[in-house]
């Protein structure tokens, strides 16, 4: 018999690193979530850009059940059929020749950064170790990746931090030029900054990063953990920019909620890592790989990706209409495809969370990207009826919020 639980159990039992909502979701289907009381919510968070195919997608449920009856886990003393199939389709669909599978975006970035450091060490010696990242970036919660991410609030009090990491403003070409020296082994960047406010990179900025990395014999790493897997209307955002990295990291939507992540790279770079130099217990398990293979099969088609672009344009139009109606409240829409940020004006700076709470009261689930930006990263299967409902609920939520602000 299941033990009954309520929200207060979180405060009593869990390490307080999160501050979850007052309700507990218990069931989902597509973009719909229901709580313990049976109330429905329209989910525009997608599990923070994870559930690209929505909640409880029937095809993924079938694949998971089928694989669970066959093989769950066998350790890295063996390989398995699902992971080899997944590696084949990922490399065929991207610039990469080789893949390393792990469990989370932080692990994928950790692997990418370790690869870059070891590659530089083996090729150039101990003087080429510096990593350049961007202010307000987010690359994970391990000590290495939280140090590389340019947000002090996530790394304060955890020192001493790994050294030889520099942070520069995002989209600032001159800052990159000033920071790039012969001691740089890698530059890591999000083609679209997610947690930092949903800022797309300028194409000239990414092109200059590529040129400078080539000039200074440094590696270019694209963190596509949030922007990848169809989120921008391309399988990965780099494809829309026409700038190819040396290493790419993917997670979140890769498994639609089943934990899996990948570091993709070239044949020559992959040879830097040898047996025993890196690893993970659960990475690339038969269960996770089988699910991810199906996710990729569904997403990576011209028809599906074209619909993401179409839906993104429609949703953007809704947000632009909201700005026109409330110009003193909202200022601009940023992002690509179905990765969009709605920025508050200076008059309402710092109140993104308050607006999110008002929306939740009206049955609409939203995210924030910093204190001043509302973030929408819904399931990529969003339909026009959902976007119409967002339109109605956003307007209702603005009224609710302003009435109490």
Show which residues are catalytic. 138, 223, 252
* Whether the Cβ atoms of residue 238 and residue 248 lie closer than 8 Å to each other: yes
* Whether the Cβ atoms of residue 53 and residue 380 lie closer than 8 Å to each other: yes
Whether the bond between 278 and the residue before it is cis, its omega within 30 degrees of 0, is: no
CA distance 251 to 270: 19
Pairing state between β 192-193 and 199-200: antiparallel
DSSP 352-400: HHHHHHHHHHTTEE-EESSTTEEEE---TT--HHHHHHHHHHHHHHHHH
Q: 219: closest CA among 89, 122, 87?
A: 122
Collapsing DSSP to helix, strand or coil, 254 comes out as helix
* Whether the Cβ atoms of residue 356 and residue 370 lie closer than 8 Å to each other: no
| Residue 280 dihedral angles phi and psi, to the nearest 5° | -165, 145
Angle at 193 between CA 190 and CA 197, to 5 degrees: 170
Alpha carbon 342 to its chain centroid, in Å, reads 18
Whether the bond between 183 and the residue before it is cis, its omega within 30 degrees of 0, is: no
CA distance 337 to 394: 19
Strand partners, 150: 135
Q: 387: closest CA among 397, 399, 376, 398?
A: 376
Residue-level length of the chain: 405
* Whether the Cβ atoms of residue 118 and residue 274 lie closer than 8 Å to each other: no
* Whether the Cβ atoms of residue 318 and residue 390 lie closer than 8 Å to each other: yes
CA distance 339 to 337: 6
Pairing state between β 219-223 and 247-250: parallel
């Amino acid at each position: 018999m299941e033990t009954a639980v309520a929200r207060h159990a979180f405060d009593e039992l869990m390490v307080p690193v999160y501050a979850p909502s007052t309700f507990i979701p218990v069931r989902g289907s597509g973009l719909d979530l229901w709580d313990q009381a049976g109330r429905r919510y329209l989910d525009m968070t997608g599990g923070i850009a994870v559930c690209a195919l929505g909640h409880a997608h029937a095809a993924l449920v079938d694949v998971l059940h089928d694989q669970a009856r066959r093989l769950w886990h066998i350790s890295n003393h063996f390989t398995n059929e699902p992971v080899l199939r997944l590696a084949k389709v990922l490399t065929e669909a991207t610039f990469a020749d080789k893949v390393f599978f792990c469990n989370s975006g932080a692990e994928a970035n950790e692997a990418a950064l370790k690869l870059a450091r070891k590659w530089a060490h083996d090729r150039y010696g101990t003087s080429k170790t510096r990593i350049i990242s961007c202010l307000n970036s987010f690359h994970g919660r391990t000590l290495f990746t939280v140090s590389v991410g340019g947000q002090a609030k996530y790394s304060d009090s955890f020192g001493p931090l790994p050294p030889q990491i520099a942070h520069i403003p995002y989209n600032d070409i001159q800052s990159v030029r000033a920071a790039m020296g012969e001691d740089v082994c890698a530059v890591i960047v999000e083609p679209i900054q997610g947690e930092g406010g949903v800022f797309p990179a300028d194409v000239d900025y990414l092109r200059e990063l590529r040129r400078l990395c080539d000039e200074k014999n440094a590696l270019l790493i694209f963190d596509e953990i949030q922007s990848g897997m169809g989120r921008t209307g391309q399988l990965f955002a780099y494809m829309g920019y026409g700038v190819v990295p040396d290493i790419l990291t993917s997670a979140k939507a890769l498994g639609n909620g089943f934990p899996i992540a990948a570091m993709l790279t070239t044949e020559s770079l992959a040879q830097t890592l040898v047996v025993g130099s890196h690893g993970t217990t659960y990475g690339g398990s038969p269960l996770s790989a089988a699910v991810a293979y199906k996710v990729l099969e569904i997403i990576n088609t011209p028809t599906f990706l074209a619909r993401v672009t179409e839906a993104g344009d429609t949703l953007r139009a809704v947000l632009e209409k909201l700005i026109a109606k409330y110009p003193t409240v909202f200022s601009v829409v940023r992002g690509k495809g179905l990765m969009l940020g709605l920025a508050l004006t200076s008059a309402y700076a710092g109140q993104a969370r308050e607006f999110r709470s008002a929306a939740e009261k009206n049955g609409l689930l939203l995210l924030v990207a910093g204190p001043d930006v509302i973030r929408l990263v819904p399931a990529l299967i969003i339909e026009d009826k959902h976007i119409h409902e967002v339109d109605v609920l956003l307007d209702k939520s603005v009224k609710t919020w302003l009435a109490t602000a």
